[in-house]
Structure 1
Amino acid sequence: MAKRKPTILSTETIYPTASIVFQADADILDFSGHFNNFPILPGVTQIDWALHFAVELLKTPSAFKGMEVIKFQEPILPDSTLCLSLSWDEEKQKLTFKYSSTREQDDIIHSSGKMKLGAPSE
């Protein structure tokens, strides 16, 4: 079976926020073919993972209803160690996410965004 999720190193959940530290392993299927000589983690995968972990850790609704803001600032490379920060606004039904890492003592923001969630039947 193809590997689709990262290796989780740690999680911390203090509702309505969560923080996941993980390894974006080079053998994750999504790296293959995106791009052949310079693999990066696709944006759609980053959105998928944010939703997946929000449902798992924050018990958010599971249906994606759209993006409000999204910025891809720095590519996520194979075998990177990252932190995914999640914040759930239940009243507005909005999830805020940010992928970040540290490189040579500098904080790097890879991507961030806000997505609208809801029940699958809405």
Structure 2
Amino acid sequence: MKTITTWKTAHAFDSVQNSSTIQIDGSTGFSPKALLLTGLAGCTGIDVVDILEKMRVPFASLEIDAEAEQTDEHPRVFKTIHLTYKLKTEEEYREKIKKAIDLSLEKYCGVAAMLNKNSRIDYEILITE
């Protein structure tokens, strides 16, 4: 894996991987830490979608809210991370959803594995029908 990150102005950078570009801006846009949380949500989200499809769990939507508490001292690192998985599906699938999330966070998601070395990650599941 390789990215190329180029300074634009002030705290703004463009980062390129293959042919995709994202903007990083420590002042007004996505900060590097926000991108890290986004990476965690995307990583576990991909896993959960794949696992639920294999389990034949139907769902109409999936949203993952990620919130981190940071330490007070510099460098300010994530102390705890709380994920909220919001799915539109039937309540009867809650246990399968829990299993899919546990598999992602404990076995498949490399971002979670890296963050778990320094931060406690917990989650909740919200189901709407």
The TM-score bracket by the shorter chain reads 0.3 to 0.5
TM-score w.r.t. structure 1 length? Answer: 0.32
- Structure that is richer in strand per residue: 1
User: Which structure shows the bigger proportion of residues in helix conformation?
Assistant: 2
Q: Radius of gyration: which is bigger? A: 2
